[in-house]
Structure 1
Amino acid sequence: MFKEIRIFLTAGIMILWAGNTSAQRIGLLPPKVKWHEIHNDSLRIIFPTGEERMATRIASVMLKLAASDPINTKGRYKPISVILQTQTNISNGYVGLAPYVSEFYLQPFENPFSLGSLPWHDLLAIHEYRHVLQLNAANTGISHTVKKFFGELAFSGMYALSVPNWFREGDAVMAESKWTQQGRGRLSSFTLPFREKLKEGTTWEYYKLRNGSYKYYTPDHYALGYLLIQYGNHVFGEQTWDTILQEAASFKNIIHPFSEPLLRHYGKRTKYFYEDAMKWYAQNWKESQTDDIDYPPIALRNEDLQNDYFDMAYPEVDDDGAIYTAIKTFDRTTAIYKIDSLGKKRKIQSLGLQQDPYFDHQNHRLVWTELRFDPRWIRRDKNVLVVFDERSGHKFTIQPKKGFFTPSLSPNGRRIATLHVDDEDHYNIQIFDANTGGLLGTLPNGDNLYLEYPIWDKDEISILAIARDRSGRMAIISQDIATGNITPITHFSFTILGKPFLHDQWIFLTTNLDTLDQVYAVDRTEGIFYRLTSGNFAHYDPAWDPTTGTIVCSEYHLNGRKLVRVNGRPGRDWKLTGLDNGVKSMEGAATDLLADVEKSGSYTVSNFSMWKDVVNFHSLTLVADDPSWQAEVRSNNVLNNLSIAAGYEYNRNSKAGGPYADVRLGMFYPVISVGVDQSARRVTNTVGQRFRISNDHIHAGLSLPLTYSAGPYQRIVNLSSTYHKGFSRIRPEIASNPDLLYNYISHRIILINSRNMAYRQAMPSWGQRFDLSYSKVSGEPVKYLYVSTDFILPGVQPSHYFNVIGEYLSQKISANTILLSTPFAGARGYDQLNGTKEYRLGLTYGFPVWYPDFGLGSILYSRRVRLQPFYDVAYSDDKNARATWMRSLGAELIVDFQIPPFSIGLRYSKLLSGGNRQSNVFEFFIPVQRF
């Protein structure tokens, strides 16, 4: 019996992939970054050297909000750690659990119509600290009990189940709008999708709106939440929302934790509350509607007009009247196209990773910016300039110290003016040679204005730009290239100013002076605003058409912005004073929280070591991966450079169990991992004698998780090597089964190249994946080599994909020693074999068959169902196999769920040859996301 015993050991290392959760990829910034902190009993701000003033202001704003707008003064409160990230060009922020931490990505967003013009750090401080107050208020009732016994991961799940995402984000947007002179809630662009939908006399079904759709455009939960919070404030007051939040988190109603308290305080459940809110907004907004104005559309082909979503942004008109514009659809990523007078479009270039699809064009040359990730460190990237010559096809990039934004070409296309930000957050307009990429000059900016959308004067002796000052006010300015002198053209105000276009003495741009965002012409010499567009549609990004003397701009529609033509002559309506009328009033607005923030307190600054609080156990988790069951405690520090998982694992089949612990250290360039595990089980032989079989195993390894971004492609390189040492023994001892001491090294290389995916794509239209693993047991003739490849090719439609799968396994197996487990899958539908030589070729064609937009309330919701016909052929020299060649034909039906985010599949396999099972095989499976 004991001669049959083999010890199964896992030879691979966990794949650290950029697209996976933060728990799987660790290491925010390199160890040379010196951190500091300011700390009090309510929060801790962690910041790099040189950001003390920023940290002090953020702390003051947060504490001022906590005192002015508390949710629950008697609730349980836990101080939050806030990390200020200055080396990324991404504008974002979050409050997270497991660990309990917040991060501010401090680079302001370039398009002011998306997030407004207020100082980004102030907006983050209010918005994210409101999330902190929400979390602490929700720490009550059953949620608190779960948190006390199981920690933050379980509490996070309870919070997500009880409090909808629209409430969390809507309440935070309400805070930023209520306590400042702007905020997203005061921008008409923020709620524009709802205005357009209600103008049609209808609205979205509630659950479709909450969960999204692949079939129709739906706005995100931020705007939905703000509108519902504002309506609730109107009908029952802000304090009632605070009560509903705490009652929901208490789970007084297990089935409807949020809807039930809303029913109690409002009289209707969430779905009907939403419908009432939409009726109220429809009536209010109807009063501000004017007569429709139909501006002539730019011609498009029928197939483009019939697209579910077809968005056109930032038009540029060539001298011959051809239009360049950035186009995005549900099935295709953003690209620059050229459209002729008949509506026929030609693709010029696909754009890489961007936060906004801005580009500029002059004389057959184009320029834009793209994100380039640091290969190793998660919170460091650069925003590079990309210069493309349409005639020659030549493309090159210009590297910044930190980032470039909103570049523009000179009229002859030979020079580039762009906003540049360095590592110390200094903003300057820089000028480059468009042929060589050489730096020609840096213009001074003593007031450190945020100078976006620079454009060239016709004589190229000055540059016009949209300036934001330290308070968030905006103005049009002119900067002399020779002297650097900055001259305001309009006065500073909180009115939003968009991308400008200069023609003669007129500066065309979009502002939010009206109920909806409209195009205005500004007299350069007098600074007077003249309205060009009006009506019930918003208009953006004007460009001058020299062939017709008209303006081409984007007109907002729910199925994507479309280009229209507008008269280029200014109208009689004009604005000179009172530009702050662009700031919309709101019900419940309070005193500006940002006033006199600098006087609100002082703080003691101290050094923050990357080893401080490095061990931070936050959660107890129960993991069921049948037949393996685990109880595990987890630790992650706030700088996300040390991860610990320890617990007890039990295998239901083998009846073996034991403790384990794994540690990953990510503060250095290679990730260091160490671990130990032990398992034991008791067996009884045929004569009733009992034995204890135990296995002890330790491992230590290094890995390099690298991510590269280049244009529309992402590349991932994962290199890892791990040393394993183990000891297996049987007690009482048996002469024929002596103790076994073994050690081996496993190596793995993963290479992935994939095209960025469009919104509706389940797989990239082009991609390659190469995975190689090799292990060799020291002193034993045991080794294995495993190689797998995936080649993704375009399908008939953009949302289709064709995957060619290859696998190869070569292994040496020895009796009475260890057996290294491998990920070899083999032909679908067959039992797993164990030969010394095995390989497979698989063909899969995938496509969506249904966009159901259907679910069970907030518990389960599916947006897509896919079908994957396949054909596999495999070979194995396993002596126990019925046949060496196995062929299967079948199909996989995959349901992609949005809530919760996972996929499940049902596979039918017709076994054409070989195998030890029936010829028709049905099985459920969990699809593996390999790209």
Structure 2
Amino acid sequence: MRKLFLLIFCLPVVSVLQAQQFGGHPPSTKWNQINNDTLRVIFPAQSGLEKQATDIAATVQRLAVQTTPTIGSRMRKINIVLQPRTTISNAYVALGPWRSEFYLMPPQNPFDLGTTPWYHMLALHEYRHVQQFNNFRKGLSRVAYYLFGQEGLAMANSAAIPNWFWEGDAVYQETLKSQQGRGRLPFFFNDYRSLWLANKNYSWMKLRNGSLRDFVPDHYHLGYMQVAYGREKYGPDFWKNVTDDAARFNGVLYPFQRAIKKYSHTSYTTFRNEAMQYFRVYVDSVKNDAVSNWAQQQKHFSGDEEFPQWIDANTVVLVKSSYKKIPAFYLRNLTAGSDTRLRTKDISLDNYFSYRNGKIVYAAYEADVRWAWKDYSVLKVLDVHSGQQQTITHHSRYFAPDISADGKQVVAVDVQTGGAATLHILDASSGAVLKKVPNPKQLYYSHPKFYKENTVLSAIRTTTGANTLGLVNINDGSVEELLPYSFHVTGFPLVHGDTITFTAAYQQRDELFALVNKQLYRLQTPANTGTGNYQWSTMNNKAVYSAFTAAGYHLVQQPITADSWKPMDADAFSSSLFTYELGSLKQDQPLPVDTSRSYRIGRYRKAFNLINFHSWRPYISDPDYTFSLIGQNVLNTLQTEIYFNYNTDEKFKEVGASAVYGAWFPYFTLGVAGAFDRQENDSPAVKTWNEVNGRLGLQFPFTFNGGRYYRRLSFSGGINTHQVYYTNFAKTKYADKQFEFVDGSVTFTMQSQVARQHIYPRFGINLFSRYRTIINNYSGFQWLTSAALYLPGAMPTHNLVITGAYQKRDTIGDYGFSNSFPMSRGYLGYNFYRLPEMYKYGVNYHFPLVYPDFGIGNIVYFQRLRANGFYDYTDVRYYRQNLHLELRSAGAELFFDTKWWNEYPVSFGIRYSRLFDGEVQGLGPNQWEFILPINLLGR
């Protein structure tokens, strides 16, 4: 139980660390900064980010004045690092160390996050997290900060205040202070609307923790409804008062729930139900339709069917995915209702693609081999008839491609560092750039389509966030707007002769529209009148489109008649966006994009605050129990640690310090450690000694993510100076030792993409090999190699996993290196670590048993129970004594995939091992263990 408690203690920290990239920039990268008393914006020099940095600084300073009073008055300066070279759209604020990072690639899909300039939206959203952290260091949370540092504060804050509040409050701020924000986007409410329309009434714990078999909206959607309702009904100070009590742990147990009851004068259960009903009332008047009825009939999540496009009068091509299967291209015969799989889709940031004349074109993700903060979006062309795929661009940043009617050209959005967009016309066979379309107004394009000669249709966003559809002249970049500019999101256009179809936000939903000779029509979709409809495609008076449902995006087919077209005035898009009648959203004026202010831009020194200790962390990797003082600078180029470790197997203590410097390539490592009271049986007494080790090393990490597989390769090596001091009885029998040894290791992992229910990837390889040898004064070496092969099982969610290991060492016995050999399960490993040769293989079969979606008291929630049947064989050999031992075991493992306190994922299990050779170690045949599993692939 102690192990489990400490693991849960560290979980908020682990999730933050996984979001951060170590090093990742070429050493030649120079950094600039805007520095004032509120924030420091750090960005690569010569990246053209002065405009974005200026707006972020101006926006944050105004937010610090205007919205801080609704969460508290405390302010602490924040470092914001801008990352312009990644193709991923994201951002975070973290403690440990205290900083924020903005991934500056704007998203292509406008419906999910809107059309407000991406860097401006990040400033609005992420600075609310800064304000939250600034005001939650109080009471017992402050005690946790003093005891464990910044990560201790993060742990306490997460335990006191649910994740739905953190994100819901930030979404509320982005909505309050912009002309869009997710709280004004119909797409954001599709999730819960679909559940309500399908009468899928899940428990509160299921809504909080999600599911591996059913569609459950995330905490952003849940949180916004709770926060907006609380602000609307109880005023602007309500959440400030609630979080003040909660962060202090007033009442100790369930402080957040107690605070809501205190300030709303109603129970927590009543409050959350009333909040949900406030938004649900707008759905209750919607009549059930075919799509909602279909979703209601699905027992669990069925799968997504996206971007259908006609091949002939009876066949469409689309992308399908589910919780059991990764995205792949399929051909669907609409008459027979049958699907034919074409090919698995390469790793991509979304499922968008375009089809013409027998060819599919789409953008796929590729990582840079060396630099973690640089990755690419390359174009792939797939021949539907032959199944052959070609990569036509390399090291590019292309998005949302479309292929011409003759299949010879591709138009795609090229997004440069910092977010500037240009349309490129490319050769579909070679990827050669045929034309770069001028962009004099600095527009941002999304989902361009070939329209007529020298003209491309595209969704367009301005530098202020207004958007429309426009026809772009590829010769001079001039634009003919087809709709008035507005904040009603418009996107996913398609061209059908003289007809343009698209989706746009209209009132409470994303609806389908058409433009014919500049006349606007709303397309009637009786099959789905409750949620959003997307990607309308027509042929021969038939249409297909994707409807959002509680069981996944569902492909809908309907005939086109005269009644399908309802004329509309384009001025309808000039109306205000729907806000669920939240008066609180009308009390403040939005913050406009501001790049006009003048800030001094200076050089940021990479050595600034390089050694930055921020937290004390307990860590367990049995048999090692460690307590560390850890540090990391803002650019995450130096990680430092001072630690104390206790090993429960050998009963020794260890004190050490280490550092990894990642601003260069390769990474440099430095460490020193002293171990005390090491011991080994040496009949008739026990040999004891202390040892000190210093190490200088290099690491060469490489990433080859791309195609259908994730791949990582890492080399590391170093030289160690080692001293051994014998104590007690051993001091009179053995001479102290001083020697140097070198060690090197190689790690390689490769795995396929995974779906939500996959326990392990359908195919994967994990290889590790390490060699250590003494180079002076004495003799000694050790070579350890281990491997795992992940294969598909009988069902899509089953895995056959084959493992192996081999270890060889010298027989002289001058010095024995520490042991990491994985013994057969159920046996003790340390008795054999000095033997010269050992090998092992294991066979595992993993499979799910049940998805209970069941919780207890908002403490623990069970998402999945899964099992593993195994057989292990270990062979131990000692040639001098002609010793040959077999250690065989078989058994079963039962794993529980859970969430604790509605937030922290923890997997634990029970293992039963039947030992066939237990007498070798004096063990009985039946062994039981409590286990905390570790995924070898690090997924």
Change (3 A) 1:654 1:453: closer
Instruction: For structure 1, list consecutive stretches of 5 or more residues without a partner in the other structure.
Output: 1-17
Q: Which residue of 2 aligns with 1:825?
A: 822
Distance (Å, rounded) in 2 between the aligned partners of 1:691 and 1:924: 32
Given the alignment, which residue of 916, 922, 925 partners 2:931?
A: 925
> How well do the aligned residues superpose, as a CA RMSD in angstroms?
2.9
Instruction: Look up the match of 2:94.
Output: 96
For residues 43 and 170 of structure 2, what CA distance do their matches in structure 1 show?
23
**Equivalent residue number for residue 867 of structure 2:** 867
**Contact preservation (8 Å) 2:851, 2:863:** yes
**Which range moves more in the overlay, 582-591 or 784-793?**
582-591
The range that moved more, 329-338 or 194-203, is 194-203
What is the aligned partner in structure 1 of residue 11 from structure 2? none
CA 529–929 in structure 1, closer or farther in 2 if over 3 Å, else same: same
Aligned counterparts of 1:553 and 1:908: Cα–Cα separation in 2: 51
Q: Match of 1:235?
A: 233
> C-alpha distance in 1, partners of 2:760/2:908?
16
Change (3 A) 1:110 1:888: same
Cα distance, 1:454–1:896 mapped onto 2, change above 3 Å: same
Of 857-866 and 110-119, more deviation after overlay is shown by 857-866
- Partners of 2:394 and 2:569 lie apart in 1 by 39
Q: CA deviation at 1:294?
A: 3.9
Cα separation, partners in 2 of 1:440 and 1:112, compared to 1, 3 Å? same
Matched residues in 2 for 1:860 and 1:274: separation?
A: 20
Q: Distance in 1 between matches of 2:895 and 2:217?
A: 26
Alignment of 1:60-459 (within 5 A): 60-71=58-69, 75-201=73-199, 203-287=201-285, 289=286, 291-294=287-290, 308-340=301-333, 341-399=335-393, 402-423=396-417, 425-457=419-451, 459=452
Aligned residue type for 2:705: S
- Match of residue 616 from structure 2: 620
Looking at structure 2, the residues matched to 897 and 375 of structure 1 have their Cα atoms a distance apart, in angstroms, of 35
Structure 1 residue 629: deviation in Å?
3.8
| Structure 2 unaligned blocks of 5 or more | 1-13
The yes-or-no answer on 1:475 pairing with 2:468 is yes
Partner Cα separation in structure 2 for residue 726 and residue 148 of structure 1: 36
Superposition deviation, residue 669 in structure 1: 1.5
Q: Distance in 2 between matches of 1:520 and 1:881?
A: 82
Q: Which residue of 2 aligns with 1:542?
A: 535
Instruction: Please give the residue correspondences for 1:726-875 in structure 2 after superposition, counting only pairs within 5 Å.
Output: 726-730=722-726, 734-779=731-776, 780-815=778-813, 817-832=814-829, 833-834=832-833, 835-875=835-875
Q: In structure 2, which of residues 551, 557, 560 is the aligned counterpart of residue 565 of structure 1?
A: 557
Q: TM-score, normalised by structure 1?
A: 0.92
Which SS does the other structure have where 2:271 is aligned?
Answer: helix
Partner in structure 2 of residue 486 of structure 1: 479
1-structure distance, mates of 2:339, 2:726: 74
Residue 167 of structure 2 aligns to a residue whose secondary structure is helix
Partners in 2 of 1:713 and 1:321 — Cα distance?
33
Distance verdict in 2 for CA 1:788–1:203, change over 3 Å:
same
Provide the residue aligned with 2:10 in structure 1: none
Kindly tell me: are residues 713 and 653 of structure 1, through their superposed partners in 2, closer, same or farther at Cα, counting changes over 3 Å?
closer
Q: Deviations over 1:874-910 (max 9, x none)?
A: 2111589996222221111111223332322211111
Specify whether residues 878 and 212 from structure 1 end up closer, same or farther in structure 2 by C-alpha distance, changes over 3 A only. farther
Cα distance change, pair 271–331 in 1 and its aligned pair in 2 (3 A): farther
Match of 1:511 among 500, 504, 507: 504
Q: Which amino acid aligns with 1:520?
A: F
Asked if 1:672 corresponds to 2:668, the answer is: yes
CA distance in 2, matches of 1:795, 1:718: 29
Which structure has the highest helix share of the two? 2
Q: What is the distance in 2 between the residues matched to 1:754 and 1:448?
A: 40
Give the residue type in structure 2 aligned to 1:52. E
TM-score normalised by the chain length of structure 2 = 0.91
Question: Are the counterparts in 1 of residues 95 and 150 from structure 2 also a CA contact under 8 Å?
Answer: yes
> 1:896 is matched with which residue?
897
Aligned counterpart, 2:888:
887
Give, as a single letter, the amino acid of the residue that structure 1 aligns with 2:144: V
Cα distance change, pair 24–431 in 1 and its aligned pair in 2 (3 A): closer
The amino acid of 1:892's aligned partner reads: E
* Aligned equivalents of 1:628, 1:870: Cα separation in 2: 26
Alignment partners' CA distance in 2, 1:296 and 1:869: 41
Aligned to 1:702: 698
Distance apart, 1:370 and its partner CA: 1.2
User: Compared with structure 1, are the counterparts of its residues 72 and 116 closer, same or farther at alpha carbon in structure 2 (3 Å cutoff)?
Assistant: closer
Q: Which amino acid aligns with 1:467?
A: I
What secondary structure is seen at the aligned counterpart in 2 of 1:819?
coil
Shift of 1:654: 5.3
Q: Alignment partner of 2:846: what SS?
A: strand
Q: Could you tell me how far 1:869 is from its partner in structure 2?
A: 0.4
> Displacement, 1:63?
1.1
Aligned-pair identity (%) = 28
What secondary structure is seen at the aligned counterpart in 1 of 2:535? Answer: strand
CA shift digits 1:268-298 (9 cap, x unpaired): 44444222222332224324x3x45548999
Pick the aligned partner of 1:644 from 629, 633, 640. Answer: 640
Distance 1:685 1:98, change over 3 A: closer
Answer whether contact 2:362 2:400 (CA < 8 A) is retained: yes
- Change in 2 beyond 3 A, CA 1:143/1:480: same
Distance 2:80 2:106 in 1: 18
The 3-state SS of whatever aligns with 1:787 is: strand
**Offset of residue 658 of structure 1:** 4.8
The correspondence of residues 455-466 of structure 1 with structure 2, limited to 5 A, is: 455-457=449-451, 459-466=452-459
Structure 1 residue 539: deviation in Å?
Answer: 4.1
Question: How far 1:656 moved relative to its partner?
Answer: 4.0
Preserved contact between residue 312 and residue 563 of structure 1 (Cα < 8 Å)? yes
Change (3 A) 1:497 1:727: same
1:597 deviates by: 3.2
For 1:98 and 1:307, locate their aligned partners in 2 and report how far apart those are by CA, in whole Å: 39
| Structure 2 residue corresponding to 1:44, chosen from 18, 29, 40 | 40
Shift of 1:43: 0.8
CA displacement, residues 745-780 of structure 1 (integer Å, 9 cap, x when unaligned) = 111111111101101111001111111111112243
User: Which deviates the most, 247-256 or 777-786?
Assistant: 777-786
Q: Partners of 1:25 and 1:451 in 2: how far apart?
A: 29
Equivalent position SS for 2:490: coil
* 1:83 CA drift (Å): 0.5
Once residues 359 and 208 of structure 1 are traced to their aligned partners in structure 2, the CA distance between those partners, rounded to angstroms, is 34
Equivalent of residue 630 in structure 1, options 626, 632, 635: 626
Q: In the aligned structure 2, how far is the partner of 1:274 from the partner of 1:34?
A: 49
**Counterpart AA for 1:861:** Y
Q: Give the direction of change, closer, same or farther, for the CA distance of 1:871–1:690 in structure 2 (3 Å limit).
A: closer
Q: 1:814 to 1:267 in 2, by over 3 A?
A: farther
CA contact (8 A) 1:644 1:664 kept: yes
Equivalents in 1 of 2:645, 2:20: separation in Å? 20
Give distance in 2, aligned partners of 1:166 and 1:20: 17
Worse-superposed segment, 744-753 or 580-589: 580-589
Return the alpha-carbon distance in structure 1 between the equivalents of residues 284 and 44 of structure 2: 50
Write out per-residue CA displacement over residues 467-501 of structure 1, whole angstroms, 9 at most, x where no aligned residue. 11111111111123344432222221111112111
Once the two structures are superposed, what CA deviation does each residue of 1:574-605 show, in whole Å capped at 9, x if it has no partner?
13214133622351124433237345x53221
CA distance in 1, matches of 2:840, 2:71: 63
CA 1:232–1:848 in structure 2 vs 1: closer, same or farther (change >3 Å)?
Answer: same
Instruction: Assess, with a 3 A threshold, how the Cα gap between structure 1 residues 913 and 229 changes in structure 2: closer, same or farther.
Output: same
Contact in 2 for aligned 1:402/1:423 (Cα 8 Å): no
Q: Does 1:592 align with 2:586?
A: no
